[in-house]
Amino acid sequence: MKQTINTNGIPISPLLNYQEECLHAPKNNTVLKKRLFSISCLAVMVAVAISVIAKLLVWLINIVTNISFYGAFSATFHSPSVNHLGLWVIIIPAIGGIIVGLMALYGSAAIRGHGIPEAMEQILTNQSRIKPAITFLKPISSAIAIGTGGPFGAEGPIIATGGALGSTIGQLFKITANERKVLLAAGATAGMAAIFGTPIAAVFFLAIELLLF
């Protein structure tokens, strides 16, 4: 007796349809292998670049901190808590906030926010497209905000910067939205791994759990 399958309804899991398509796909497709290799090479390039940018971000934060609280141009880490400005120290975060606010107003409003939610939003609503300007505006504004005493960390900004760099590279090449999402996730994951020194946790938590869904 032949069994009939109703294909009009909603599948139990959309992933089942994808797995069924994979069963009928050619097993030895040279074009797909070349495509996979090229996307992998782009992902590695993005990861290397964002790792360097992460080190530059930490270096820039230290410079802004030393200029703001100690009046010295130095990239050596010094905590702002041991400054000798007295009550005048209250003005420093306010000045930093004004500068970042002007950057958001006249540069790009996308620099506001933590970084991870904004990357997820672009994946869900904008086919993983992020403005290229975020690649340099986000780290600069974050360095000013953190260096002037803002209660922030470097992980959110570098994740947003890495995602923006990956998305920008993806927009320069003729690739699909899913492939662009892979580059976005690669950049964001590399940024988090560079800041925290935890590559495995970055892959599982950020890439798999938050960005690739």
The arithmetic mean of pLDDT across residues 174-195, rounded, is: 90
pLDDT of 195 above 70: yes
Per-residue CA distances from 25 to 18, 22, 39 (Å): 10, 5, 20
In a domain, 4, yes or no: no
pLDDT of 155 above 60: yes
189/207 Cα distance (integer angstroms): 6
**CB–CB of 144/57 below 8 Å?**
no
| pLDDT per residue as tens digits for the range 98-135 | 999 998 888 877 777 777 787 788 888 888 888 888 88
In a domain, 119, yes or no: yes
203/33 Cα distance (integer angstroms): 23
In a domain, 79, yes or no: no
153/156 Cα distance (integer angstroms): 7
> What percent of the chain has pLDDT above 90?
31
Confidence of residue 15 (pLDDT cuts 50, 70, 90): low
pLDDT of 10 above 50: no
In a domain, 65, yes or no: yes
In a domain, 80, yes or no: no
In a domain, 193, yes or no: yes
pLDDT of 25 above 90: no
The arithmetic mean of pLDDT across residues 53-70, rounded, is: 93
The domain in which residue 122 lies consists of 31-72+91-211
Confidence at residue 21, expressed as pLDDT on a 0 to 100 scale:
55
Which range among 20-24, 49-53, 121-125 shows the weakest confidence by mean pLDDT? 20-24
pLDDT of 210 above 60: yes
In a domain, 107, yes or no: yes
| Total domains, the chain | 1
The arithmetic mean of pLDDT across residues 166-170, rounded, is: 91
In a domain, 12, yes or no: no
